[in-house]
């Protein structure tokens, strides 16, 4: 019982910066449920407008598809001409998406994890960077702290646990290079 009390005290001391007030987080939760995750508004320009209202930095001609999940829009930057399908962005830390990036259906960007070496499972957050021209395949996962370099591809169902090199195609869990990406 003594260890459980210590664990609770240690857990309660953990600090995480949401980056917004409780009111803003609550409002985002409601808006996200009503307009993003429900698919009620399938019009990309409206979804982009709402994300910008909540602090997302979004370039021109960005396409956001319905049913997308974005944890904190104020920790999201998206470059021009990028396309985000029905994916999940768990951005407890910053997520930066370059220009002409494609994030396919059911892909996940995870910026948070827990330290299994600590009794309190301390939260660890690290940013994710998707450079220009990157493509994250359907049901692929990008883990905390990973940079997907320019024009790299993470194929369907693969898991990026380390940085991906430019103009390279990766596959598997953990993802490994399978070949170079040649663009005509």
The DSSP annotation for 139-167 comes to: T-EE-TT-EE-TT-EE-TT-EE-S-B-TT
Q: Is the pLDDT at 8 greater than 80, yes or no?
A: no
In a domain, 10, yes or no: no
Average pLDDT, the chain: 93
Q: How many domains does the chain have?
A: 1
In a domain, 5, yes or no: no
Q: Which residue has the higher pLDDT, 26 or 3?
A: 26
In a domain, 51, yes or no: yes
Across 74-91, average pLDDT: 98
In a domain, 47, yes or no: yes
Print the domain residue range for 147. Answer: 17-180
In a domain, 2, yes or no: no
Q: Is the pLDDT at 165 greater than 80, yes or no?
A: yes
Range with lowest mean pLDDT among 118-122, 155-159, 166-170: 118-122
Tell me the backbone φ, ψ of residue 3, rounded to 5 degrees: -65, -35
In a domain, 75, yes or no: yes
120 in Cβ contact with 155 (< 8 Å): no
Residue 29's contacts (CB-CB under 8 Å, 6 or more residues apart) are: none
Give the integer Cα–Cα distance in Å for 108 and 123: 18
Q: pLDDT tens digits for 104-140?
A: 999 999 999 998 898 888 999 999 999 999 999 999 9
Q: 29 pLDDT band (50/70/90 cuts)?
A: very high
In a domain, 53, yes or no: yes
Across 72-80, average pLDDT: 98
Quick one: pLDDT at residue 16? Answer: 84
pTM for this predicted structure? 0.90
CATH code for position 60:
2.160.10.10
In a domain, 28, yes or no: yes
């Amino acid at each position: 019982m003594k260890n459980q009390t210590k664990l609770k005290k240690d857990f309660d001391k953990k600090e995480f910066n949401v980056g917004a007030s409780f009111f803003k987080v609550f409002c985002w939760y409601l808006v996200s449920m009503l307009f993003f995750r429900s698919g009620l508004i399938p019009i990309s320009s409206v979804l982009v407008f709402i994300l910008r209202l909540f602090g997302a930095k979004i370039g021109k001609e960005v396409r956001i598809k319905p049913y997308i999940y974005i944890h904190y829009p104020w920790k999201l930057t998206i470059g021009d001409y990028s396309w985000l399908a029905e994916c999940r962005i768990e951005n407890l830390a910053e997520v930066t998406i370059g220009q002409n990036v494609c994030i396919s259906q059911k892909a996940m960007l995870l910026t948070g994890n827990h330290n299994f070496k600590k009794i309190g499972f301390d939260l660890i957050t690290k940013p994710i960077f998707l450079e220009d021209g990157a493509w994250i395949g359907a049901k692929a996962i990008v883990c905390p702290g990973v940079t997907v370099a320019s024009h790299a591809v993470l194929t369907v169902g693969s898991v990026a646990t380390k940085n991906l090199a430019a103009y390279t195609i990766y596959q598997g869990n953990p993802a490994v290079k399978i070949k170079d990406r040649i663009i005509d």
